[in-house]
Amino acid sequence: MESTISQIVGVFAIIAFVIAPHMKKKTNLLIFVTFGNLFTVVEFLLLSSMTEVAVISISTVRTITFFMFSRYDKRAPVWLLVVFMSMQGAAVYFTWKSWVSLLMLFDIVQTYGQWQTNMKVLRILTIIGAIPIGIYNIIVGGYTGAVNQFLQAVSSAIALWHKHYRIPPTPAQAGDQGSTTNLPSTPSSSDSCSEK
Q: What is the pLDDT of residues 171-181, one digit of tens each?
A: 766 665 554 44
Q: Does residue 193 carry a pLDDT above 70?
A: no
The domains of the chain are located at: 2-164
- This model's pTM is above 0.75: no
In degrees, rounded to 5, the angle at the alpha carbon of residue 47 between the alpha carbons of residues 130 and 142 is 35
Residues 6+ positions from 150 with CB-CB distance below 8 Å: 130, 131, 134
- pLDDT at residue 172, rounded to an integer: 67
* 24-80 tens-digit pLDDT: 888 898 999 999 999 989 988 998 888 888 888 998 999 999 989 988 888 899 999
pLDDT in tens, 111-159: 999 898 888 999 999 999 999 999 998 998 888 888 989 998 999 999 9
DSSP per residue, 29-59: HHHHHHHHHHHHHHHHHHTT-HHHHHHHHHH
